[in-house]
């Protein structure tokens, strides 16, 4: 085990423990699976333009200062520690990366229906309420949201997370409202797959 960047112990032992927890969860439901005959498999994909989290020009001087100190190994001169230090550095890097755009990112969303069950692919790391809302799509026995599908485009935080100012929202390449847009477009995609 070792202390990681956010002061959390990690290492092979931690990974083995999580693997055992996940395997045990699978085994708990393995014999409860309902087998359903399937007469059709359908697929749909759609590119959705997601607004970029471009920075305010007045914040760029500070962003460049933080990024330079971090790059030079002078984190002790940045007035934050632990996860907050990680957050302000990631935010500065995001701001520099997006200073000149783009205004939108074209992201690919996909869905595969196997009978009345559908796997909905999200190309990044969605916050939990996105999956909860997609599971409410009408006309499906089961909707299984899948993260990091065909890409790893970053975090998709809920709008209120931007107000709270946590790591995921401050480092996200996507503007506040991204999660709600994914829910809206995702439900449209799932509706289109039924046709």
* pLDDT classification of 102: cutoffs 50, 70, 90: very high
Other C-beta atoms closer than 10 Å to the C-beta of 125 total 16
Is the omega angle on the peptide bond into residue 102 within 30 degrees of 0, that is, cis?
Answer: yes
Q: Is the pLDDT of residue 5 over 80?
A: no
pLDDT tens, residue by residue, 105-121: 999 999 999 999 999 99
Average pLDDT value for residue range 60-86: 96
* CB distance 46 to 150 below 8 Å: no
* CB distance 122 to 149 below 8 Å: yes
Helices and strands in the chain, H and E counts: 7, 8
Q: Give the pLDDT of residue 171.
A: 97
pLDDT tens, residue by residue, 111-162: 999 999 999 999 999 999 999 999 999 999 999 999 999 999 999 999 999 9
Q: Is the pLDDT of residue 195 over 90?
A: no
Following DSSP, what letter does each residue of 31-78 receive, concatenated?
TTPPP-----EEEEEEEEEEEB-PPPGGGHHHHHHHHHHHHTT-GGGS
Average pLDDT value for residue range 62-71: 97
pLDDT tens, residue by residue, 41-64: 999 999 999 999 999 999 999 999
> Mean pLDDT, the chain, as a whole number?
94
Q: Give the pLDDT of residue 34.
A: 83
Distance CA 70, CA 6 (A): 16
Q: Where are the domains of the chain?
A: 1-33, 34-52+102-193, 57-97
Q: Is the pLDDT of residue 15 over 90?
A: no
Q: Is the pLDDT of residue 177 over 90?
A: yes
The pTM for the full model equals 0.85
Judge residue 115's burial from the number of C-beta atoms within 10 Å of its C-beta, 0-12 exposed, 13-18 middle, 19 or more buried. Answer: middle
First-last CA distance in the chain? 51
* pLDDT classification of 184: cutoffs 50, 70, 90: very high
Please report where in the chains the tokens 């083995």 appear, as a residue.
16
Q: Give the pLDDT of residue 145.
A: 98
Q: Give the pLDDT of residue 1.
A: 59
């Amino acid at each position: 085990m070792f202390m990681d960047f956010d002061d959390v112990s990690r290492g092979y032992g931690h990974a083995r423990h999580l693997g055992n927890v996940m395997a045990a969860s699978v085994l708990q439901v393995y014999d409860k699976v309902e087998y359903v005959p399937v007469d059709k498999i359908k697929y749909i994909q759609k590119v959705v333009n997601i607004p970029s989290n471009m920075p305010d020009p007045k914040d760029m001087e500070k962003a460049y200062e933080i990024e330079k100190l971090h790059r030079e190994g002078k984190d002790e001169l940045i007035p934050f520690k632990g996860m907050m230090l990680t957050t302000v550095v990631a935010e500065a890097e995001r701001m520099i990366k997006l200073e000149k755009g783009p205004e939108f990112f074209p992201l690919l969303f996909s869905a595969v229906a196997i009978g009345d069950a559908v796997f909905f692919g999200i190309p990044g790391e969605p916050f939990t309420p996105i999956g909860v809302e997609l599971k409410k799509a009408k006309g499906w026995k089961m909707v299984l949201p899948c993260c990091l599908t065909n890409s790893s485009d970053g975090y998709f935080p809920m709008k209120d997370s931007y107000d709270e100012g946590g790591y995921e929202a401050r480092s996200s390449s996507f503007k506040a409202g991204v999660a709600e847009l994914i829910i809206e477009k995702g439900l449209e995609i799932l509706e289109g797959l039924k046709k």
